[in-house]
Structure 1
Amino acid sequence: MTPIDHEQITSTTESPQGESQLATNLAEREHIEIDLLLEGMHRLYGYDFRNYARASLTRRIWHHVHSEKLGSISALQERVLHDRSCFERLVQNLSIPVTEMFRDPHLFRMFREKVVPLLRTYPYIRIWHAGCSTGEEVYSMAILLHEEGLLDKARIYATDMNNRSLQQAREGVFGIERMQLYTKNYLEAGGTRSFSEYYTARYQSVIFQPFLRKHIIFAEHNLATDRSFNEFNVILCRNVMIYFDDKLRERVHGLFHESLSRFGILVLGSKESMQFTGYSDSYEPLDRMEKVYRKIN
Structure 2
Amino acid sequence: MSWAVVGGSGFVGTAVIEALAAAGIEAHTVPAPRLATEARTAAALVAEALRYDVGALGTALRGHDVVVNAAGMATPSGQDGPDLLGANALLPAVVARAAAGVGVQRVIHLSSAAVQGSARMLDETTAVHPFSGYSRSKALGEQALTALDPADLSMVILRATSVQGHGRPTTASLATLARSPLASVAAPGTAPSPITSVGALADLVVTIGRHGAAVPDIVLQPWEGLSVRTVLEAAGGRPRLLPAVLCRIAVTAGFRISSLLGGRLDGQVRRVELLWFGQDQVAGWAADQGLVPRARVRDVLARAGRGDWAGR
Query: Larger Rg: 1 or 2?
Result: 1
Greater relative CO (CA pairs within 8 A, separation 6+) = 2
Normalised TM-score (structure 1): 0.24
Normalised TM-score (structure 2): 0.23
Q: Which has the higher helix share?
A: 1
